[in-house]
Structure 1
């Protein structure tokens, strides 16, 4: 049977929905940066840890808005099985990357498992996304990991941000797509050419994973003693596929039936050498290809991702649905209020100019606000560490305050 069709056309009503979604995201993110994140900027210097904690929560709960709109505006239905992702433990989450909307669907998954996971998730993304006005600035403020697909440059960025995560005082779960890009026609063609060149099998449902970056991230997190588990997530689509966020906004349509299965793996069960770890990932992707082949070979009325015997199911509880709707309405009301205040304020252009100048300046000088914020945070931690070594009694008190769960 194979995968469901990729949607390329839609009705006028659908296009209106897409416009509503796109405008809502753009305005809420842009004005949120002006009226929420920008006023908090002094905390980057005054109290880096408090800044990190409050921005994690603000951005995390903003993520409820797009994920909720996907469900209530577009009617997305999710089926989630597998192991629970622990909010209190540092981890890496890996997933096959079928579309450029996978991370958007996954926010709804995290909300169902534990809403607080939205405040502790970090994502590895393409570097170009940091330049998106509003949303890109917010993701940078939230210390997402933007990569340029050049390991020589990315390795330094990876090391820097993992050190920051490990020493900021909270436990994060880093979402990583080992394939490096979504399975669009262009990427599929490149993967086929690569497979022919290397005389290896060409996959139908996944791309060949990129070993180097994955191995580097796992080994660096091990070195920092900042990883307890790896979560292997498989995503599949039952009814249709929408390839990108551009298609989502332009066409106003999305997949209606999305399936997820999550498998929790102790970091102690992963190989320790670089070569064996890379081979482990390759073998995992062979298994993932076969799981998806089995899924897509079944009838769309009955097919399911195979799951382990002790797998759980995660649904939206009545309490979390109320919580989700309250957060959605809160952001809608705030966005309307911000727009009104901006249009009626005598200082609106100065507010916008300062915010744009701040984020664009950090992108030019430090290659992203996430690099600047993490630099300040690491500098503060190193100063405290030096002080603790000089004053052991004070160190005992300090360590009691910052110890991770």
Structure 2
């Protein structure tokens, strides 16, 4: 067995087992907090996710030797923002976790991905992303529009700004999807793209319009990803150890005030960004070039934090696995949690929507009652004075 395969197997096992046991032993106990205080629950799950996201980045860069290189603008973690990115392969999201760590100053972020609904039923990672409050869509715009609006309204209600990542292409590049993109271009008299797909602008346009009108949008970050050497295609490549030597991200920040306010101009703006991506990637992949978006790039790594995360999360995973097979209480807890997640995932639209339902049922009613109570004394005072 070659070294690359051994490292790939170790990488996947460490990463995926950490996800599953972190969900069982850290996230699942927080379910009880969900019934007590939704704001605390959201804050706690966000903090845990931010701490955990160091782990896959550490595995990727320390164990597998991948360099994540950033050029362009930094990401302000305090921004309420939309992140748009080209979707080169099925693993872009994985490398983006590390990129957000490097691109955010300070190295922290509150990013929620817009994902296909099927992801939420994947054992471990899908369950964790439900609790993390990610946004799942069903490829039914009438339904998706309502779900996205509910999530955005909830984020505003709990007074927390998030960065919402959406892939406007809708899927990654493959021979099949590229052929469909070419067909769309030919039918509409557009340029054929070789390095990106023509974007589907409906979701992005809605997010931009609604977040801007809802005072949730400070900026749009346009992210372009490129792979100079090894180009993975699917999750199998992780297992086989086919990890890129480098992944380059170029980031451009657009303040919200520069974004058009109406649907048609926003759609046009997104299409123009994709045209610019095609040009940038054509230059990036040009034969016999250095394959960088800019000569001014950085591959800085927060080594101390990464090594700490690598050791701490690995020890946590080993200990909780040991606990599972030596404690009947731990085993029964895992069985109960698994059964609960399966039921919730298959027979509802996810814990993240149940969280919003609880807020709308209890917290909103409390706020309305408090507002009514504070307005009563003033009214009575006016009535007495009138009498």
Check whether TM > 0.5: yes
The one-character-per-residue Cα deviations of 1:149-204 (angstroms, maximum 9, x if unpaired) are: 22122111111111122222222111111111111222222222322333322200
Structure 1 pair 88–31 and aligned structure 2 pair: CA distance change class (3 A): same
- Match of 1:222? 212
Computing the radius of gyration from Cα coordinates, the structure with the larger value is: 2
- Please give the alpha-carbon distance, in whole angstroms, between the structure 1 residues aligned to 2:351 and 2:8: 29
* Structure 1 position 86 matched with structure 2 position 80: no
Quickly say closer, same or farther: Cα 1:246–1:157, change in 2 above 3 A.
farther
The number of residue pairs the alignment matches comes to 376
Write the mapping of 1:69-108 to structure 2, written as runs, cut at 5 A.
69-108=59-98
Find the counterpart in structure 2 of residue 322 from structure 1: 304
Return the TM-score normalized by structure 2.
0.91
Residue 334 of structure 2 corresponds to residue 344 of structure 1: no
Secondary structure of 2:236's aligned partner = helix
> CA separation of 1:154/1:252 partners in 2, compared to 1, >3 Å: closer, same or farther?
same
Whole-angstrom CA distance in 1 between matches of 2:26 and 2:106: 20
Q: CA-to-partner distance for each residue in 1:333-381, whole Å, 9 max, x for gaps?
A: 0000000100001234421221112222222343112111232234444
CA distance in 2, matches of 1:327, 1:358: 29
1:177 corresponds to? 167
Aligned to 1:277: 266
Please list, as runs of the form range in 1=range in 2, the aligned pairs for 1:29-178 lying within 5 A after superposition.
Answer: 29-114=19-104, 118-178=108-168
Residues 114/282 of structure 1: CA separation in 2 closer, same or farther (3 Å cut) = closer
Aligned CA-pair RMSD: 2.0
Q: Is the 8 A contact 2:67 2:299 kept in 1?
A: no
CA distance in 1, matches of 2:117, 2:312: 30
Aligned to 2:384: none
> What CA distance in whole angstroms lies between the structure 2 residues aligned with 1:393 and 1:47?
25
1:119 Cα deviation from its structure 2 partner: 4.7
With the length of structure 1 as denominator, give the TM-score of the two structures.
Answer: 0.87
Q: Which residue, 226, 237, 240 being the options, matches 1:236?
A: 226
Q: Do the aligned partners of 1:296 and 1:303 also contact (CA within 8 Å) in 2?
A: yes
Structure 2: give runs of 5+ residues left out of the alignment: 377-387
Corresponding residue of 2:198: 208
Work out which of the residue numbers 271, 282, 285 in structure 2 matches 1:296: 285
Higher relative contact order (CA 8 A, sep 6+): 1
Counterpart in the other structure of 1:7: none
Equivalent residue number for residue 356 of structure 1:
338
In structure 1, how many angstroms separate the alpha carbons of the residues matched to 2:105 and 2:124?
23
Aligned to 2:252: 263
The gaps in structure 1 that reach 5 residues or longer are 1-10, 395-405
Contact 1:362 1:372 in 2 (8 A): no
